[in-house]
A = this chain, B = another copy of it.
Amino acid sequence: MKTYPIYAAGEFITTQQKLEVKSSFNNEIIAETYLADEVVLNNCINKALKVSEELASIPAYEKYDILMQISNKINDNKDHLASILSAEASKPLKYAVSEINRAIYTFIAAAEETKRPPMEYIRLDWEPSGKNKEGLVKYFPIGVVAGISPFNFPMNLAVHKIAPAIASSCPIILKPSSTTPLSTLELANIINQTSLPKGAVSILPMDRKVGNLLVTDERIKLLSFTGSPEVGWKMKNDAGKKKVVLELGGNAGTIVTKSSDIDSAVKRCVVGGFAYSGQVCIHAQRIYVAKEILTEFTEKFIVEVKKLNFGNPLDINTDITSMIDEQNAIRVENWVNEAKQDGAIILCGGNRNNAFYEPTILCNTNNTMKISCMEIFGPVVTVEPFDKFEEAVEMVNDSVYGLQAGVFTNNIEEANYAFNKLNVGGVIINDIPTFRVDHAPYGGIKDSGLGREGVKYAIVDMMEPKILVKNF
């Protein structure tokens, strides 16, 4: 069994507190690592502060090289990284490979954006006091950044904090999920091989108490959190003077209209609903189907869902496997059973086996049921009919969340209406809400979050504008 030291400001260290990383699929211990304590964390913050100036003085071509080297090395180790990710997160290998691929692209995007920070050159003579004056607006690193990333995309959601931090010259302390710390510790190893100044990146698994210092320590200037809404919003209030970016979850809605290509919609909804057992922020939890095609859609959907292969995450043919832990599988089981008692009908699935929960489709649901109004974060999907398109939009909007929504339609008016009226951060036409590319703005409104990620957007958040007023 491998032991992973943790990455503390350029040094790989061990601590007194061991952390075992287990597979939820077979309960085997995959590896052992360590939890950082307060002393380690404090040391990393101090080194981060110290390295700030050096980091900011790296020219763009060197920063570009460093980030491209990281991207290339991830590419070179793709198989290895994917299998570690697959094992620690019980994520089917094919999805693990795709996540590693995305991390490669995310670093490329960051490499490129480091050359293109937001800079402005503006006239100031819009009013007489600005006569003979011009303004240069340049963005400077905000300071030390804390990133807290979740178990479900242990690599790429951490990379969405690390890569922009490097690009914007902010030292970063990243706390990975204690359930899935290995991918980022592998990444630490790659980062450490580059000429990036030591101290610029720390990867520190921590328990909640120590981790919470990232929220409260005033030396940290930005907290970027991806995780559950309850935890996230609490952090915002505890964060003192620092900026906070929250990427939380939701109960994303999908609308399938008469004018859509039903087979394509079915195929994509299988992915949106059950990839990684729905443990995805933009899991396609609620599907609203035009009543005229409800039967056809539902029948085809059930057929396709039943084809999903259950198996070992490390098997490339596996479509679905255990959830992250049994506790979550039990939670999902309870929610589904509650819904059933309240009248929901299980069209397929509905059974649990240890940490595995079957892909489950429900109908006859309503939005007072937890499986509909809360974030299920499991392999459960509701399918409900709608009459008019406007009603479907209203049903999607009838949620405290607002992350993304998918709309299958070939109708221009519907697409425009959806874009203007859906209260979400992203509307995906002819695809599932689960769609994301790494350079595009991503994030939610309402309880789903605050701010946007996506490489360029994260970089902007990590920088402070400063205007130079030129007199000439």
Contact = CB atoms under 8 A, between A and B. Distances in A.
A121 B123 contact: no
Looking at A108, A121, A416, A467, the one whose CB has the most chain B CB atoms below 10 A away is A467
A101 interface: yes
A112 interface: yes
A467 B439 CA distance: 12
A95 to B, nearest CB: 12
Give the interface size class of chain A: 35 or more
Interface in A101-129: 101-102, 105, 108-109, 112, 115-117, 119-129
Stoichiometry, as copies per complex, reads: 4
B61 A127 contact: yes
Interface in A238-290: 238-241, 243
Interface stretch (A20-28, A135-143, A334-342, A368-376): A135-143
Nearest to A447: B241
Contacts of A472: 412-413, 416-417, 420
A61 B412 contact: no
Interface stretch (A2-10, A295-303, A421-429): A421-429
B465 A425 contact: yes
B438 A127 contact: yes
Given A467-B441, A471-B431, A419 B138 contact: yes
Contacts of A119: 120-123
A425 B465 CA distance: 7
A331 interface: no
B137 A121 contact: yes
Nearest to A411: B410
A200 B125 CA distance: 21
A199 to B, nearest CB: 20
Interface of A: 59-61, 64, 101-102, 105, 108-109, 112, 115-117, 119-133, 135-138, 233, 236-241, 243, 409-413, 415-417, 419-420, 422, 424-431, 435, 437-442, 445, 447, 450, 452, 464-472
28 contacts: A61-B125, A64-B126, A105-B127, A109-B126, A121-B136, A121-B137, A126-B438, A129-B437, A130-B437, A133-B431, A233-B240, A237-B238, A409-B412, A410-B413, A411-B411, A412-B429, A413-B472, A416-B470, A417-B472, A425-B465, A426-B466, A427-B467, A427-B468, A429-B469, A429-B470, A431-B469, A431-B471, A435-B469
